[in-house]
Amino acid sequence: MRPNYNVQAQVVKIDTDIPQNDEKFFVDTNIWLWTLYEPLSWKPLMKTESKKTGVSGYQIKKYPRFFYGASSRQANFFYCGTLMPEIAHSIERWEKELFSNSRQPPEIIELKDFRHNYPEQRIQVVEKIQEIWNLITEIAFCIDFTIDEAFTHAALTQSETIQVDGYDLFIVKAMKKGNIDKIITDDGDFLTVPGITVFTANDWAIKVAEQQGKLLYR
């Protein structure tokens, strides 16, 4: 079954789009990983994990290509602090799978066991997370906000009208605070957010947007 998106955003297919000069983009979590985190190019080594995550070849090819194309045209990229725990979790999970598959014979290692029982690997994981996060902070601008009672209540209220997960509610609020109305993402949930433009290579999201008259050609 495919998600029946109620498309409120404008949608741009990154395959055929040419980034414009000085555009401003919020960059979603997975786009940073597919662009900066080298082990994702080793996906064939991680068959078990790739089935769990659903990472596809187009994701690790098309998004970095668009990202660097936008960068060459002096685009400004943005992020917010709530991306950090998602990135940290993803990197730890991928590093665990790499380590598991490097064993002879390969073995199944639970994430908590990997975290606590292999101290040398733990040091490497932390270094990887710090490396990627430092790259993001060098490349992009942070939209700062305080996660207090008023902010979380406002984010929760948004869930009544847009269909995104809890982390992405914070992204939507961050984009509004930073006056950023463009996001590079593979997550079709963002199609339900009015007032933004979604730059994506997600074929189903693009198809649904076209059916509902929301596909934008620039």
Query: Is 48 a residue whose pLDDT tops 60?
Result: no
- Least confident range from 114-123, 154-163, 208-217: namely 154-163
Q: Is residue 60 part of a domain?
A: yes
Mean pLDDT of the chain: 92
Q: Is residue 48 part of a domain?
A: yes
pTM: 0.92
Q: Is residue 217 part of a domain?
A: no
In this prediction, residue 41 carries a pLDDT of 65
Query: Is 123 a residue whose pLDDT tops 50?
Result: yes
Q: Is residue 67 part of a domain?
A: yes
Instruction: Count the domains in the chain.
Output: 1
Q: Is residue 22 part of a domain?
A: yes
Q: Is residue 216 part of a domain?
A: no
- Least confident range from 31-40, 136-145, 181-190: namely 31-40
Round to whole Å and give the CA distance between 66 and 69: 5
Q: Which residues contact 176 (CB under 8 A, 6 or more apart)?
A: none
In this prediction, residue 1 carries a pLDDT of 87
What mean pLDDT do residues 52-66 have?
A: 83
E strands within the chain? 10-13, 24-27, 76-79, 141-142, 182-184, 197-200
CATH number at residue 99: 3.40.50.1010
Q: Is residue 182 part of a domain?
A: yes
- The rounded percent of the chain whose pLDDT value lies above 90 is 85
Query: Which residue in this structure is represented by tokens 């078990």?
Result: 48
| CA distances from residue 115 to 109, 111, 123, 124, 125 in whole angstroms, order as listed | 10, 6, 10, 11, 9
Hey, is 209 helix, strand or coil? helix
Q: Is residue 1 part of a domain?
A: no
Q: What domain range is 65 assigned to?
A: 10-211
In this prediction, residue 49 carries a pLDDT of 46
What mean pLDDT do residues 94-122 have?
A: 93
